[in-house]
């Protein structure tokens, strides 16, 4: 195929990948049963501890985020197990289905899309469920641009009942901090291609002592996703199956960049730039889809003005400005756009996206007050 | 970590990856829900048809070979299903276990390691099994260096009983030809990092019409490996979940190289160089592990002379000659070495490996007749 043109990837994953991370992929091929890979695996594992803020060893699977989430389900949920799942978008819905496919009983706590279920409602569901096995939470709904603000608090409620607490933080970890040890998260899952700004193809899972013990005792029937086996092999510096070596090289450098910047500063940067994005929407007369209380710092979901054609808008952004933004999801497919505010995102990325949107909206007949937009961009840090 | 040194990777996977394939990985990141990825996916799918010699669309999963094999099991084997599995090494053994983990009844036809079960024995097992669901065959045992010579014939026997015929050709396809349409193979699985000489992390699966219909009708419970869903998304140029885009770029170029060389010539090259390797072993007084009737063209398994230390031998090959060869497997761990004769392997690769082995064997106290070796290398084409 033709060599693709480099665009500004403002998607909710994959994101722009820094050259330094990209270039790591072409390091020499090595034996995955040799010392060099063991060194690489150990370093990536150690560095991942910073991401999850854990003293336990996280696991890395050669599968994209969905694979990681399914591994987190199949290793814990057994037929008949009762599992509480807050559902406030597509990915929560998929998670609850995965629980059912594994034979579990998913007790859904729903809320209107654009909001998140209240902590009270989830707590009530947890407390009224006898023999609760686990609580599975999507931290950040990529489909609606909403984030749950009570990850820590929910951990306490799950712990009260002795339930496993699993958090899908695919599109948030690194842009948000989830200190898994402190907050009592047994398994936290994320993907390489979101806030870590590495290429897609790997998922990362933190494992609490309790989760590590459990998965070793009762392995799942899908061996590729057998986390106990992964832990056993990790103990002697290997993976059970051939790993995607080139993607490990990239992840290693992406984690270096996370550590060099510092997780706290990285989270602050995501938060600051998200604020800038929401101000931009507001200045252009566009509404964010999410209730202001739950607006995501990593996925900016905005509503089109009435009558604006989604496909044409994104096509113009892409072809005339070399900027790729995401479409809506499910029922919101043609009414919503989604912008990824993830990874190496910078002030210039926001400005460039804002400028292109202002022009494209104007071209599409939606009036933009450019002075107001400029003032907002000046005022926001 | 330190930048790894480039070695000659003579492993039974991963293999040496040509620079052209490596460099493809750093092509720009793209939207996996956009036109450029659709073009890439379509091209890789079309090119894969040459590899499998099929008119149906093969599938590509973002998982290494084991993931692909498990997908082939979970999409066809249902609880109680009877499945015949020839077992003549570690990977056949794993395959039979995967069938059982999926709830199937594995009817194993075994043979001593270093040989393969006879076609008669497998045929008999198939014919005496009422309600046979499938036959799962490992074509090439990476653990013993043996290859089954009756893939086509077994297809006819399976077809007689209306059973699905699934072939694990992870370490052989591309080095061997398996024309799946002609030979009646319903699902054939291979990996990116073996005879295709791409980096690890992708598996490829051919799908017969019959298999495609079946997997769509009765999806497995593990959605990441749901092949019907994969087919549905492929029909509109997408994958259900975020694909490992950089590895697709690499696979695309690896398939270009396969097509440029031509499958027939590539198979002939593997066969010729395998002959050269076996002559080298013979000239150095080393025995191949495999029965000569079943010697693999892609995995050369040799036995050490008595008293030779495996770890020291491979360490010297690696540190003194920059050549990485594989260790033995399971019961043969310290008695066997395995050399990958895969992908971009060339006459110079064989010569370089042979020369280094001659020196290393000599250093280890095993006499090598260098004139005989030189004569063999001269004589072999």
Digits of tens for pLDDT over chain A (381 positions)? Answer: 889 999 999 999 999 999 999 999 999 999 999 999 999 999 999 999 999 999 999 999 999 999 999 999 999 999 999 999 999 999 999 999 999 999 999 999 999 999 999 999 999 999 999 999 999 999 999 999 999 999 999 999 999 999 999 999 999 999 999 999 999 999 999 999 999 999 999 999 999 999 999 999 999 999 999 999 999 999 999 999 999 999 999 999 999 999 999 999 999 999 999 999 999 999 999 999 999 999 999 999 999 999 999 999 999 999 999 999 999 988 888 999 999 999 999 999 999 999 999 999 999 999 999 999 999 998 865
Would an 8 Å CB–CB cutoff place A246 in contact with chain B? yes
Would an 8 Å CB–CB cutoff place B343 in contact with chain A? no
Same domain, A51 and A194: yes
Same domain, B269 and B207: no
Tell me whether 0.90 is exceeded by the ipTM: yes
Q: Is the four-CA dihedral A134, A135, A141, A143 of positive or negative sign?
A: positive
Same domain, B226 and B320: no
Question: Smallest Cβ distance to B245: which of A31, A200, A240?
Answer: A200
Would an 8 Å CB–CB cutoff place A30 in contact with chain B? yes
Would an 8 Å CB–CB cutoff place A90 in contact with chain B? no
For residue A1, tell me if it sits in a domain.
Answer: no
Same domain, B267 and B250: no
Out of A230, A261, A292, a domain closes at A261
Residue linked to tokens 């107001």: A372
Calpha distance A134→A187 (Å, rounded): 11
For residue B3, tell me if it sits in a domain.
Answer: no
Name which of B246, B251, B345 to mutate to probe chain A: the one with the most chain A Cβ atoms within 10 A of its Cβ.
Answer: B246
For residue B345, tell me if it sits in a domain.
Answer: yes
Same domain, A215 and A251: yes
CA–CA distances in Å: residue B301 to residues B8, B177, B316: 18, 21, 18
Tally of domains in chain A: 2
Pairing status of strand A146-147 against strand A164-168: unpaired
For residue B59, tell me if it sits in a domain.
Answer: yes
Length of chain A: 381
Instruction: Return the residue of A nearest to B20 by Cα.
Output: A26
Q: What is the DSSP string of A205-253?
A: EEE-HHHHHHHHHS--S-GGG-HHHHHHHHHTT--SS---HHHHHHHHH
User: Where in the sequence is the domain holding B275, given as residue range(s)?
Assistant: 8-12+263-379
Residues of chain B in contact with residue A45, where contact means CB-CB under 8 angstroms, are: none
Residues of chain B in contact with residue A97, where contact means CB-CB under 8 angstroms, are: 223
For residue B187, tell me if it sits in a domain.
Answer: yes
Same domain, A145 and A49: yes
For residue A321, tell me if it sits in a domain.
Answer: yes
For residue A141, tell me if it sits in a domain.
Answer: yes
Same domain, A93 and A109: yes
Same domain, A248 and A267: no
Whether B26 and A22 have beta carbons less than 8 Å apart is answered as: yes
Contact A1 B252 (CB under 8 A): yes
Out of A234, A261, A288, a domain closes at A261
Question: Smallest Cβ distance to A242: which of B64, B221, B326?
Answer: B64
For residue A3, tell me if it sits in a domain.
Answer: no
Same domain, A328 and A227: no
Looking at chain B from residue 283 to 302, which residues have their Cβ under 8 Å from any Cβ of chain A?
none
- CATH code of the domain covering residue A272: 3.90.1150.10
- CATH code of the domain covering residue B52: 3.40.640.10
Name which of B18, B20, B24, B31 to mutate to probe chain A: the one with the most chain A Cβ atoms within 10 A of its Cβ.
Answer: B31
State whether residue A366 is helix, strand or coil.
coil
Same domain, A203 and A319: no
Residues of chain A in contact with residue B103, where contact means CB-CB under 8 angstroms, are: 221
- Residue A345's region, left for phi above 0, alpha for psi from -120 to 50, else beta, is beta
Same domain, A38 and A175: yes
State whether residue A270 is helix, strand or coil.
helix
Q: pTM above the 0.80 mark?
A: yes
Would an 8 Å CB–CB cutoff place B362 in contact with chain A? no
SS (HEC) of chain B: CCCCCCCEEECCCCCCCCHHHHHHCCCCCCCCCCHHHHHHHHHHHHHHHHHHCCCCCCEEECCCHHHHHHHHHHCCCCCCCEEEEEECCHHHHHHHHHHHHCCCEEEEEECCECECCCHHHHHHHHHHCCCEEEEEEECEECCCCEECCCHHHHHHHHHHCCCEEEEECCCCECCECCCHHHHCCCEEEEECCCCCCCCCCCEEEEECHHHHHHHHHCCCCCHHHCHHHHHHHHHCCCCCCCCCHHHHHHHHHHHHHHHHHCHHHHHHHHHHHHHHHHHHHHHCCCEECCCHHHECCCEEEEECCCCCCHHHHHHHHHHHHCEEEEECCHHHCCCEEEEECCCCCCHHHHHHHHHHHHHHHHHCCCCCCHHHHHHHHHHCC
Same domain, B49 and B194: yes
Out of A229, A261, A293, a domain closes at A261
């Amino acid at each position: 195929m033709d060599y693709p043109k480099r665009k500004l990837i403002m998607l909710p994953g994959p994101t722009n990948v820094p050259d330094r991370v990209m270039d790591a992929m072409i390091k020499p091929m090595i034996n995955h049963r040799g010392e060099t890979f063991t060194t690489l695996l150990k370093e990536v594992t150690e560095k991942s501890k910073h991401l999850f803020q854990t003293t336990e060893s996280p696991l890395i699977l050669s599968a994209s985020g969905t694979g990681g989430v399914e591994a987190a389900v199949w290793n814990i949920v057994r037929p008949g197990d009762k599992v509480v799942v807050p559902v406030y978008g597509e990915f929560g819905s998929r998670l609850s289905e995965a629980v059912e496919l594994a034979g579990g009983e998913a007790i859904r706590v729903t809320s209107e899309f654009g909001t998140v279920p209240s902590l009270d409602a989830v707590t009530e569901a947890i407390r009224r469920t006898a023999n609760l096995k686990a609580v599975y939470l999507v931290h950040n709904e990529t489909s609606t641009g909403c984030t749950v603000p009570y990850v820590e608090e929910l951990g306490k409620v799950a712990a009260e009942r002795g339930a496993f607490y699993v958090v899908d933080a695919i599109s948030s970890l690194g842009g948000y901090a989830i200190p898994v040890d402190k907050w009592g998260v047994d398994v936290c899952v994320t993907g390489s291609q979101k806030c870590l700004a590495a290429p897609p193809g790997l998922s990362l899972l933190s494992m609490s002592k309790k989760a590590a013990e459990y998965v070793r005792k009762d392995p799942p029937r899908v061996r590729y996703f057998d986390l106990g086996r992964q832990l056993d092999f990790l103990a002697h510096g290997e993976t059970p199956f051939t790993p995607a070596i080139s993607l490990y090289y990239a992840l290693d450098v992406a984690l270096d960049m996370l550590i060099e910047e510092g997780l706290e500063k990285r989270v602050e940067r995501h938060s600051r730039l998200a604020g800038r994005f929401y101000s931009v929407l507001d200045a252009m007369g566009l509404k964010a889809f999410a209730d202001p209380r739950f607006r995501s710092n990593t996925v900016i979901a905005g509503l089109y003005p009435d009558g604006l054609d989604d496909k044409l808008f994104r096509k113009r952004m892409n072809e005339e400005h070399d900027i790729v933004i995401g479409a809506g999801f499910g029922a919101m497919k043609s009414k919503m756009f989604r912008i990824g505010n993830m990874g190496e995102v910078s002030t210039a990325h926001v400005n460039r996206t804002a400028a292109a949107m202002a022009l494209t909206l104007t071209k599409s007949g939606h009036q933009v007050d450019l002075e107001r937009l400029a003032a907002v961009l000046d005022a926001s840090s």
